[in-house]
Amino acid sequence: MSSDHAEKACQLFAGGLNCSQSVFAAFSDITGMDCDLALRLSSSFGGGMGRMREVCGTCSAMFMIAGILYGLGESYTHEEKTEHYKRIQELAALFKEKHDTIICRELLKGLKVTSTPEPEKRTEQYYKVRPCIKFVRTAAEILDRYIAENPPSQK
């Protein structure tokens, strides 16, 4: 398993991908998902779901990756569903330990951000003031640690 997912995710974000795409695509080697499909699937979750500033896109990416690696298919027990939701809540709690919340607008408090559909241009100034790359790194590091401690079963 690669431990450079955080670096890869940060590079993808610095290259212009949204927060969710950056984390989700960085783990393509583990999820087995084609990179283009990974980018398309996660594209809707940037900016707290389509810039609505709801759940941070990095957290959405973590949860989607956890679903691919540990999730439930068509048939599962009540206990398995409970365990999976417990896993998602654990990942969220680990993120909250570092950043107090998983809500985009709360993570960006103090910055002038809007929920308009038009994304901000990725300028040097954007990267100077925007803390999102920290969240990208945190989510990838949490997932790397979680996966190392909880190897997914081969499906």
pTM of the full predicted structure?
A: 0.94
SS3 of residue 50 by DSSP: coil
Q: Give 155's pLDDT tier (boundaries 50, 70, 90).
A: low
Distance from C-alpha of 45 to C-alpha of 54, rounded to nearest angstrom: 9
pLDDT digits (tens, 9 = 90+) for 53-110: 999 999 999 999 999 999 999 889 999 999 999 999 999 999 999 999 999 999 999 8
Percent of the chain residues topping a pLDDT of 70: 97
Q: Give 116's pLDDT tier (boundaries 50, 70, 90).
A: confident
Query: Could you state, in order of their start, the residue ranges of all structural domains in the chain?
Result: 5-149
Closest to 137 (Cα-Cα) out of 3, 2, 5, 1: 5
Distance from C-alpha of 67 to C-alpha of 79, rounded to nearest angstrom: 16
Distance from C-alpha of 146 to C-alpha of 121, rounded to nearest angstrom: 33
Residues 81-95 as b/e (b if ≥16 CB within 10 A, e otherwise) read eeebeebbeebbebb
Distance from C-alpha of 22 to C-alpha of 8, rounded to nearest angstrom: 8
H-state helical runs in 17-151: 19-26, 28-31, 35-42, 46-49, 57-70, 78-99, 104-107, 124-129, 132-149
pLDDT digits (tens, 9 = 90+) for 136-154: 999 999 999 999 999 998 6
